[in-house]
Amino acid sequence: MTSATDNLLSRPPFSLNGTEKQKYLSGAVTESIAHHYENCPPYRKWMNKQGFAPSTAFDDLSEIPYLPAALFKHMDLVVGEQDDIVKILASSGVSSQIPSRVPIDNVTRTRQMKALTSVMSDFFGGKRRPFLLADVEPSRAEGNDVNLSARIAGMRGYLMAASQQVYILDDVENQPRLNESLLQKTVEDFKISGTPFSVLGYTYMVYKYVIQPLYEQGICLDFPEETFLLHFGGWKMLQDQAVTREILNEQASAVFGIPAGNVRDIYGFTEQLGVIYPDNGNGVKRTPCFSEVIVRDPLTLEPVPDGEYGLLEFITPLPNSYPGAALLLDDIGRIVTREPGPDGKHGTSFEIIGRAPESEVRGCGDTLPDHIYEISSDTN
Amino acid sequence: MKIHNLFEDGKSFIPVTGDPLQAPATETLQPTAENIRRGQQELKKLSIDAIIGIMDAFARDLMRVDHPLANVTREMGTGYIPLWMRRANLEKLCDLSVNGNRKSLDQFEILGNIESRKFRAQPRGTVVHWIAGNVPVLGMLSLLQGLLTKNANIIKAPSENAGLLPAMLESLSRFEWKTSAGVGVSGKILTDAVAVIYVDREDIEAERALSAIADVRIAWGNRTAVEAIMNLPRRFGTEDIIFGPKISFAVVGTEHLSSEDDASKVAHNLARDVIAFDQQGCNSPHNVFVERGSSVTPVGFARIFGDALGAAANRRPLREVTPADTIRILSVRAEYDIRGEAYYGKDIGWTVAYNEDESNLADPCYLRTVFVRPVDDIFDIPPLCSVNTQTAGLSVGERGMKLAEALTAQGVERCPAIGNMSLYDAPWDGMFPIERLVRWTSLG
């Protein structure tokens, strides 16, 4: 029998209007959390404490109890049998240096690939195109670079949308270095054949090893206007260089000769891998039919009205091997609109303004309370 | 070097909620330092009782509902200041700190039963206070003790709430107190010995200049901040007073767990200690050790305490939280829901976490999050303590003296009753701060 999740994944990602999405997504999420509830005792205990069971009726997805994604940094939560786990995903540990550990089984992995392919395919209008990859081809790497293996693994899903893969970095004494002649020759070939292509890579790899060296040399490669630069993985590794989105977009536009709107940041996170959110060129992202975003007030935890900022919660039925259907992140953002875009695509549009910084380690803020002289009775 | 002058000569140069970087700036500290030293000469002519008298009268005035700073006091949570400034508290504080005779702050006095010699507590000179930003009233507490000891004072304000202290000082400078003899004493005598400045934290030259003029350096803050200050060059003989990061806890013995009513009384007192400053003080309890063996079990106490903390939080709701705080607290809730028990409300306002198998001191989570730890015997707790543990609130009946002996031997510095943990008193962090602000001299 086809599950509600698989059914949802078979639909075009931005095809369901609000009412339809609520109906199908709610069904799939209910099915997903019922599976988690039955097969993950710790999750069942937690859900029971929330007074929520899979049979509990709800009017809105925001009523489903949500776990903080950070919990996966502290606990190993597996749904089903440990033997079914084929991979443990580890996040980059961006906020606290402690990585999340997310167990993946084959069902989850397949769903992740379907979801990612679905959005990428939609992005490129159903056609695959060559990718220039801002990384070193693993077979050409000189050393045993563990980071490289991890990067390539994290990139693999995106490569489903590639008709050809050209790695444009070389490994020179264990340091990535841009192969400018390869890049220029490949681009010339694509131009001559009239083949549209894209550049893809981790945000920091794209900037540090491609954009920055070209920009510093004042080189403009004059890519065709329809070329996209897709980057993902977050901005943490660029913080030290104070590289903002605006700087990256401006410099990328200058060295590639493409509109800044063709530089697209793809948002996603390990705890719901597979669901990706490319922006529209203006920093606004859209949820596909298999995911929804809710923005919560950090103090009351209630959903805030559209347009107001708060903590982002994402709901998706994809996770099968861990209870990650409803997760609250430390990312801050807001819902821009629930209306379809000018391209007719449905889904909730949202934007992210950043990640909650780790609280400063507190020092001694010793002071007295207002009721200092309401001395309590001595209970010694 | 850029010194932003926020308060000097009785005048504030910054609105209460203003940006300190907008205040007038100079490139030298020297005129300010000289100015407050001149002010200090007049302050030294006041008796300690006169200083206390004017502080007490100003405190009473501040409590008027129509006082211009009434709203500020309410909104910034500084209502305790006028309470702490009352005569009875200040007299006790001074007497305790200078060997029982506060008049030794004015003149040579006999101390104890040694009649052949007299002792005098002289001010040390210029006290520089580096204030932490997380609680806006720290500066006033620190400063008041600097004034009681007749020192010149420079406050290096934090960027947050930088205008609060200047506003209070300006109000004090305009205040006049009439002695019982009908003589007017102006608050400006006190405030002329004070300057409040702001310098950017990256301005090392300014920080060095501040350190160079200090006879006493008082540093409040986290470890990084305090260490940075202590590492600044200083003159030989400069005294350092450090109020660095520490954690505190409470202990409930079987004596107070024989019935739910008993436990509830302790729980309500503990809730007050938690609610005060939302656990940002190093005297705030983050853990409560509950002894097994009575009719109210540790997990039972956790539930009762949850009720008390929830009620207290309803009376004084949490006003502000950062997204990072929220995520941290939700993680604790989920983890303890799964591994133990967690009690909390609908919002992020309070949390009680319990695990039968955890008896260590949990790292603070802050914002009204308390870890209840079961122990078989309250005397299992002292080995968990160190110089990093400050206050242990006790509800342990007759065993209090013996437990306090064991705890303080391990590094704990205060053992008040649960419910009184939040009170700022002396000694603090192992010292009488006022005593450290004076130089003892003798005659005879």
- In terms of domains, do B235 and B295 share one? no
B16 secondary structure, DSSP code:
T
Q: What is the CATH number of the domain that holds B365?
A: 3.40.309.10
Q: What is the CATH number of the domain that holds B79?
A: 3.40.605.10
Please say whether the beta carbons of B344 and B306 come within 8 A. yes
Residue B338 touches partner A, C-beta closer than 8 Å:
yes
> Is the model's pLDDT at A380 over the cut of 50?
no
Band (B127; pLDDT cuts 50, 70, 90): very high
> Is the model's pLDDT at B138 over the cut of 80?
no
Residue type, B242: I
Quick one: tokens of A181? 């002649």
Q: Do B243 and A366 touch (CB under 8 A)?
A: yes
Distance from the Cα of A113 to chain B's closest Cα (Å) equals 29
pLDDT in tens, A35-69: 999 999 999 999 999 999 999 999 999 999 999 99
Distance from the Cα of A271 to chain B's closest Cα (Å) equals 15
Q: Is the peptide bond before B427 cis (omega within 30 degrees of 0)?
A: yes
Residue in chain A nearest B63 by alpha carbon: A370
How high does pLDDT run on average in chain A?
87
pLDDT at residue A363 in the model: 43
- In terms of domains, do B259 and B236 share one? no
What is the spatial distance between Cα A156 and Cα A113, in angstroms, rounded to a whole number? Answer: 9
A70 closest CA partner among B342, B322, B324: B324
> Is the model's pLDDT at A342 over the cut of 50?
yes
- B415 falls within a domain: no
pLDDT at residue A100 in the model: 83
> Is the model's pLDDT at A239 over the cut of 90?
no
What is the spatial distance between Cα B424 and Cα A157, in angstroms, rounded to a whole number? Answer: 59
Residues from chain A contacting residue B224 (CB–CB below 8 Å): 361
Please say whether the beta carbons of B29 and B128 come within 8 A. no
Which of A364, A373, A378 would best serve as a mutation to test chain B binding (most B beta carbons within 10 A)?
A364
Q: Which of B321, B323, B348 sits opposite A330 (nearest CB)?
A: B323
- B421 falls within a domain: no
> Is the model's pLDDT at B390 over the cut of 80?
yes
Which of A368, A370, A373 would best serve as a mutation to test chain B binding (most B beta carbons within 10 A)?
A368
Question: What would the DSSP string read from start to end of B340-358?
Answer: SEEEE-SSSS-EEEE-TT-
**Could you list the residue range(s) of the whole structural domain that residue B387 is in?**
247-410
- B422 falls within a domain: no
Mean pLDDT is highest, among A189-203, A361-375, B259-273, for B259-273
| Segment A243-249 mean pLDDT | 89
Distance from the Cα of A326 to chain B's closest Cα (Å) equals 13
Q: In chain B, positions 203-232, which contact chain A (CB-CB < 8 Å)?
A: 220-226
- In terms of domains, do B319 and B274 share one? yes
- In terms of domains, do B279 and B196 share one? no
Residues from chain A contacting residue B338 (CB–CB below 8 Å): 42-43, 45-46, 75
- In terms of domains, do B206 and B260 share one? no
Task: Select the CATH number that applies to the domain covering A124-282 from these four: 3.40.50, 2.60.40, 3.90.320, 3.30.519.
Answer: 3.40.50
- In terms of domains, do B239 and B114 share one? yes
Which of B254, B273, B331, B354 would best serve as a mutation to test chain A binding (most A beta carbons within 10 A)?
B331
pLDDT at residue B161 in the model: 82
**Percent of chain A with pLDDT strictly greater than 90:** 68
Distance from the Cα of B216 to chain A's closest Cα (Å) equals 19
* Phi/psi at A278 (5° precision): -70, 145
pLDDT at residue B362 in the model: 95
> Is the model's pLDDT at A150 over the cut of 50?
yes
Helix (H, G, I), strand (E, B) or coil at B395: strand
pLDDT in tens, B197-251: 999 878 999 999 999 999 999 998 888 888 999 999 999 999 999 888 889 999 9
Task: Among A109-123, B66-80, B111-125, B331-345, name the one with the lowest average pLDDT.
Answer: B66-80
- B418 falls within a domain: no
- In terms of domains, do B222 and B274 share one? no
Q: Which of B134, B272, B419 sits opposite A365 (nearest CB)?
A: B134
pLDDT at residue A357 in the model: 56
Q: Do A358 and B327 touch (CB under 8 A)?
A: no
Query: What's domain A1-81+284-357's architecture?
Result: Roll (2.30)
B358 or A240: which leads in pLDDT: B358
> Is the model's pLDDT at B62 over the cut of 50?
yes
Quick one: tokens of B65? 């509902």
- In terms of domains, do B307 and B438 share one? no
- In terms of domains, do B300 and B175 share one? no
Q: Do A298 and B318 touch (CB under 8 A)?
A: no
Quick one: tokens of A155? 């990139």
How high does pLDDT run on average in chain B?
93
pLDDT at residue A254 in the model: 94
Per the structure, the count of domains in chain B is 2
Residue in chain B nearest A49 by alpha carbon: B337
| Segment B347-358 mean pLDDT | 96
pLDDT at residue A375 in the model: 30
Residues from chain A contacting residue B348 (CB–CB below 8 Å): 298-301
CA distances from A310 to A226, A304, A355, B137, B327 (A): 35, 7, 11, 29, 12
Q: Do A367 and B222 touch (CB under 8 A)?
A: no
Band (A155; pLDDT cuts 50, 70, 90): confident
pLDDT in tens, A2-14: 699 999 999 999 9
- In terms of domains, do B171 and B275 share one? no
- B416 falls within a domain: no
Show me where the domains of chain A are located.
1-81+284-357, 124-282
pLDDT at residue A164 in the model: 93
Kindly report the pTM of this predicted structure.
0.86
What is the spatial distance between Cα A4 and Cα A26, in angstroms, rounded to a whole number? Answer: 9
> Is the model's pLDDT at B146 over the cut of 50?
yes
Helix (H, G, I), strand (E, B) or coil at B58: helix
> Is the model's pLDDT at A97 over the cut of 90?
no
3-state SS string for chain A: CCCHHHHHHCCCCCCCCHHHHHHHHHHHHHHHHHHHHHHCHHHHHHHHHCCCCCCCCCCCHHHCCCEECCHHHHCCCCCCCHHHEEEEEECCCCCCCCCCEEEEEHHHHHHHHHHHHHHHHHHCCCCCEEEEEEEECHHHCCCCCHHHHHHHHHHCCHHHHEEEEEEEEEEECCEEEECHHHHHHHHHHHHHHCCCCEEEEEHHHHHHHHHHHHHHCCCCCCCCCCCEEEEECCCHHHHHHCCCHHHHHHHHHHHHCCCHHHEEEEECCHHHCCCCEEECCCCEEECCCCCEEEEECCCCCCECCCCCCEEEEEECCCCCCCCCCEEEEEEEEEEEECCCCCCCCCCCEEEEEEECCCCCCCCCCCCCCCCCCCCCCCCC
Residues from chain B contacting residue A45 (CB–CB below 8 Å): 337-338
Band (A1; pLDDT cuts 50, 70, 90): low
- In terms of domains, do B213 and B273 share one? no
> Is the model's pLDDT at B392 over the cut of 90?
yes
> Is the model's pLDDT at B334 over the cut of 70?
yes
Q: Do A372 and B84 touch (CB under 8 A)?
A: yes
pLDDT at residue A207 in the model: 95
Predicted-complex ipTM score = 0.87
Band (A138; pLDDT cuts 50, 70, 90): confident
Band (A206; pLDDT cuts 50, 70, 90): very high
The residue whose two tokens read 């009680």 is B352
- In terms of domains, do B333 and B312 share one? yes
Distance from the Cα of B407 to chain A's closest Cα (Å) equals 15
> Is the model's pLDDT at A372 over the cut of 50?
no
Residue B139 touches partner A, C-beta closer than 8 Å:
no
Residues from chain B contacting residue A299 (CB–CB below 8 Å): 318, 320-321, 326, 347-349
> Is the model's pLDDT at B115 over the cut of 80?
yes
